[in-house]
Amino acid sequence: MTQSATDRPLLIGLMGATGTGKSTFANLMSQKESLTVGHDLISCTQQVALTESFTIQGQQVKLIDTPGFDDTLRKDSDILKEISSFLAATYEQGITLAGIIYLHRITDYRVGGISSRNFRMFRKLCGDESLKNVVIVTNMWSEVQKDIGEAREVQLRGDSVLFKPVLDRGAQMMRHDGTYESGCNILEYFLHTNPHVLQIQRELVDEKKSIVETAACQLLDAAIAELKRKHEEEMYEMRREFEQAMKEKDLAAAKEVEEARAQLMSEMESIEQKRQELEGDFEKEKTRYHQEFSILAAELEKQKAEQDELIANAKKHEEELIRQRDSLKKEFDKLQVEADRKQREAEERHAKAIQEERARQEEMRRKREAEGREERVGSAKRYEEKAKKAQNLAERLEAREERRKEVERERAKEKAAVEKAQRLDREAMAALLQAKEAEVNRLRMQVENMADELEERLAMVEEKLSSYSG
């Protein structure tokens, strides 16, 4: 039986004596005040309880709060039945615990008989094979001086009766300073462990033992046997006292002894009856937990279906975004091609304008040479011809100005196309727009330089004409 890590959260058990802060730790880590917390040695945890799921490094986690075997309101047999039925039901559902945290107060200056018995029962539930998945957590460090707490921690680690044997078999010991971050550090340890079957689960499910045949119950039976032995000794002593009272005809004393003996017999019968009822009640508790786990499994399936739906919707949204991105890229590429075509046309027009200007300059040179040869012609005729030439030059200047305006109009169109492309990818087209504007400015400068040159030549022509007229 294995746990499916993808469908179920990690289950981590919390065990320890009453008042060690199991419920407080569970509420702190789940960020929910869902478990009742006691503030004295009166136990508030009467049943096994699960926290709501919470996340540690992306992994869903649930904590299992359990009552201690030193419970002030319930017998150890009831606690064993409660915890065993829960663990057996989870294992039969295919769920194994990721690990167990055993909490111990660092404020306890010595480990008493109750705490020792509690820990022995804890070991019987876990077994030695699963101790690598056990973390002993000392808490309440704020209530003790640091050096005293550290000394007690060293003592606990070396205690051959209590913690040393389990630490030698792979268990870990950590501190919890009461903060959420400290708790996360503890829980993160279980993210790297493999879930392991507990001894009580293996005995009840795999080996098909009854609860009274388990090691935990046998430990409890040993305590009961010791209690029965003491009761039998007390019964023997009471019987002697009763016989002595009857010999002395002390009826009042004999009656008191008989009443005490009857009460003791009643207690022994009650203990034996509890032991016999333990197995039957265990099956009822296990059935109840099976029903609760079925409900929990249905809720988990519903949550998984909702999560799958969200993932599917997210995938559709991602595909739509990719489609839109591809569409925008195609449109941008199309605009890029159009802009390149416009740039090539502008360059071709510029080259053509340069060729035309050179041709005009060559023509003017030839005309000036012809004019030099015709200087001997009458001054009136030359003046008239020069005037016509000046007029032609002015017309050419007007045509050139018109061409410059046409270039500017083309530039405006190109700028509009660039701005359209910029709306799709402003950063990508910014460089292209700057290059185009630089090119247009360069053309404008060339046109203005040619205009200045023509104006200078026109001035020279007019000066010559003036000299001729003189």
pLDDT tens track for 425-463: 666 666 667 777 787 788 778 878 887 888 888 888 778
The string of DSSP codes covering 415-462 is HHHHHHHHHH-HHHHHHHHHHHHHHHHHHHHHHHHHHHHHHHHHHHHH
CA distance 289 to 191: 26
H-state helical runs in 127-214: 146-157, 164-168, 180-188, 199-201
**Hey, what amino acid is at 14?**
L
For residue 4, is pLDDT > 60?
Answer: no
Q: What is the mean pLDDT of the chain?
A: 77
Q: Are 83 and 31 in contact (CB under 8 A)?
A: no
Give me the pLDDT at residue 435, please. Answer: 77
Binned at pLDDT 50, 70 and 90, residue 200 comes out as: confident
Collapsing DSSP to helix, strand or coil, 307 comes out as helix
For residue 88, is pLDDT > 80?
Answer: yes
Token pair, residue 348, equals 């071709």
Residue 192 CA to its chain's centroid (Å): 17
C-alpha dihedral (89, 93, 95, 97), degrees to nearest 10 = 0
Binned at pLDDT 50, 70 and 90, residue 6 comes out as: very low
Cβ-count burial 228-239 (b if 16+ within 10 Å, e if not):
beeeeeebeebe
Residue 290 is given by DSSP the state H
How do residues 206-252 score in pLDDT, each as one tens digit?
Answer: 888 877 778 777 776 555 555 555 555 555 565 666 556 555 555 55
Token pair, residue 20, equals 């060690």
Q: Can you give the length of the chain in residues?
A: 470
Mean pLDDT of 164-185: 94
H-state helical runs in 31-171: 76-92, 113-126, 146-157, 164-168
**Closest listed residue to residue 83, CA positions, set 137, 18, 13:** 13
Residue 191 is given by DSSP the state G
**Closest listed residue to residue 57, CA positions, set 186, 188, 181, 190:** 188
For residue 32, is pLDDT > 90?
Answer: no
C-alpha distances in angstroms, 313 versus 67, 322, 434?
Answer: 44, 14, 42
Q: Out of 111-125, 250-264, 284-298, pick the least confident.
A: 250-264
Q: At what angle do helices 76-92 and 113-126 cross, to 10 degrees?
A: 20
Domain ranges, ordered by start, for the chain: 10-209, 343-469
Task: Provide the CATH number for the domain formed by 10-209 in this structure.
Answer: 3.40.50.300
Which run of H or of E encompasses 350? helix 251-373
**Closest listed residue to residue 121, CA positions, set 226, 20, 221:** 221
Rounded to the nearest 5 percent, the helix, strand and coil shares of the chain are 70, 10, 20
Give me the pLDDT at residue 42, please. Answer: 38
Binned at pLDDT 50, 70 and 90, residue 355 comes out as: confident
Binned at pLDDT 50, 70 and 90, residue 14 comes out as: very high
The residues, any chain, with a CB within 8 Å of residue 414's CB and separated by 6 or more, are 339, 342, 343, 346, 436
How do residues 125-161 score in pLDDT, each as one tens digit?
Answer: 888 888 999 999 999 999 999 999 999 999 889 888 7
For residue 189, is pLDDT > 90?
Answer: yes
